[in-house]
Amino acid sequence: MTELTHVNPGARMSGAVVYNGVAYLAGQVALGAPGASVADQTKNILDLLDDTMAKAGTDKSRILAASIWLSDISTFDEMNAVWDAWVADVTAPARATVEAKLAAPQFTVEIALTVAA
């Protein structure tokens, strides 16, 4: 049987679940930058995801897919400026970005990843 590992487990969700060589990272919002600009929120989220990937034994060079939600699609270019710099040294993963109402108004970006572990 393949081992199932939870990273940063909590009462509601885990930061990631690793199973069968794949890490499924929960959607992250900018807990360290609520209400900040889209660029600052994106940077904060990517830092959180880097930390979670490290705890799962992987890194951004192994991202298979990314899902990004923006509360306002007009901020697409602002978010992409940060994202593009973050993936500049790796091959960019498959990705989808959509506009969606997020859980709280102070959060304007949410990102979830699927990563080879």
The CB density around residue 21, as the number of other CB atoms within 10 Å, is 9
Taking the C-alpha atoms of residue 32 and residue 50, their distance in angstroms, rounded to an integer, is 14
Instruction: Return phi, psi of residue 65, to 5°.
Output: -155, 150
Taking only the tens place, the pLDDT of each residue in 67-77 is 999 999 999 99
pTM score of the predicted model: 0.96
pLDDT at 2: 73
Secondary structure E strands in 10-108: 14-19, 22-28, 63-70, 94-99
Q: How confident is the model at residue 91 (pLDDT cuts 50, 70, 90)?
A: very high
Taking only the tens place, the pLDDT of each residue in 43-58 is 999 999 999 999 999 9
Q: What is the average pLDDT score of the chain?
A: 97
Contact yes or no for 86/79 (Cβ under 8 A):
no
pLDDT at 14: 97
Contact yes or no for 114/22 (Cβ under 8 A):
yes
Taking the C-alpha atoms of residue 86 and residue 69, their distance in angstroms, rounded to an integer, is 17
Percent of the chain with pLDDT over 70: 99
Instruction: Return phi, psi of residue 69, to 5°.
Output: -115, 130
Taking only the tens place, the pLDDT of each residue in 92-117 is 999 999 999 999 999 999 999 999 99
Residue 80, pLDDT above cutoff 70: yes
